[in-house]
Every structure is written in structure tokens, then in C-alpha cells.
Amino acid sequence: MTAPLLNPVIKLLDLSDYRAFFDLIDSNRDRLLDFFAGTCKRTNSLEDTEQYCVEIKYKIQQQSYFPFMLQRPDSGEFIGFIDIKNIDWHTNTAEVGYFIDGKAEGAGLMVQAVQQVFLWLSQHTSLKHIYCRIHESNQRSLALAQKLGFKFECILPGSYVNSRGETIDLNKFITHLKEG
């Protein structure tokens, strides 16, 4: 376990971040393959990642996707990723996904970072409800969702296909954003 980093820095992913984004994914690829299969598939090379970031830039402009990079406050190194996806503006609901670099796990940093993202969302969007889908084997993510105030809603049978092509069940949790 590493010492906690105070005040993690979050920033929207920018096209100029493609190299650092690739490095973050690539250094964690083995542990991300099952639950970030789409992101891993789109970032197989530096060139693929740059093209993916071009597409992401468009999605940010369209307000259909908000990807945040988590940075160390002392060095600016990218150590995590939080994305707001599957946005439904009719119900003001979206899904959150997140991961942190294996070297930064266990420091409590992701709780702070997700709270910052939720504050940003409450100040810059009309989103009211955020949900996450978590496999029962991901104990750290389940604990994080609980710390963030998510409540279990249901089991989603066969709701995700992992990188091996297996269809798996995920648990759905939901929380409500506070007014910004």
C-alpha cells in the first residue's frame, strides 16, 4: 500500500494526452482486459490511441462522453482514469467507470477523484443519477462504490461480454449527485 496522495488532480482527456493515456492503459492492460475490453481494444498501439482520442474529443464536444485522467498532484503523471458514459439526457442518468494504476492502488485516491468528477458533473451538467456496473469478483470496486454512497439496485444477467467473449452478470449500483 502506498501513502495517500492529497488532492488528486482530474482533467478531461485531451487529444494531446494520447501518449500518456496509451502508457497508462498499456502498463495495466493485463488487469484491465476483462472489464475495460473496449478501451483496451481501441488502444493497442500509439497510433490507435491517438485516433481513439480524436473520436473522444468529438464525443466530449457532443456531451456524450466525459473521460477524466487522474494525475499525481506532485508530478502530473497519469495514474488513473474515470469515464462518464452511456449518458441519457432524457433521464439525466449516466454510468461511471474507473480504474487506477496498479502502483497507486490502495491509497484512497480514487474515492477523492470520483468525488471531484461528481462535483464537476453537478456544476457543469444536468445529470442527477450515476450508476456503475461491477462484477462480484471486483472487491476493490465494490468497496469504492459503497464508500461513494452507491446503493445496490439489481443484478444484470448477461450484461457484459469480456475480452474472452464470455457473457457475464454484473451488479448495478446507483447514486444521486448532490447539487453543485
**Residue closest to 153 by CA, chosen among 131, 173, 167, 179:** 173
At residue 8, the pLDDT reads: 82
At residue 140, the pLDDT reads: 92
The residue extents of the domains of the chain are 9-176
Q: Average per-residue pLDDT in the chain?
A: 92
How far is 66 from 91, CA to CA, in rounded Å? 17
Distances (CA, A) of 58 to 15, 54, 64, 155, 174: 10, 7, 9, 33, 27
H or E segment and range at residue 40: helix 37-42
At residue 6, the pLDDT reads: 62
Residues of the chain with pLDDT under 50: 1-2, 5
What is the reported pTM? 0.91
Residue pair 156/171 in contact by the 8 Å Cβ criterion: yes
User: How would you write 56-123 as a 3-class SS string?
Assistant: HHHHHHCCCCEEEEEECCCCCCEEEEEEEEEEECCCCEEEEEEEECHHHCCCCHHHHHHHHHHHHHHH
Tens of pLDDT along 62-112? Answer: 999 999 999 988 888 999 999 999 999 999 999 999 999 999 888 888 999
Residues 6+ apart with CB under 8 A from 80: 8, 24, 69, 70, 98, 99, 100, 101, 104, 109, 110, 113
At residue 50, the pLDDT reads: 97
Residue pair 111/94 in contact by the 8 Å Cβ criterion: no
The class level of CATH for 9-176 reads alpha beta
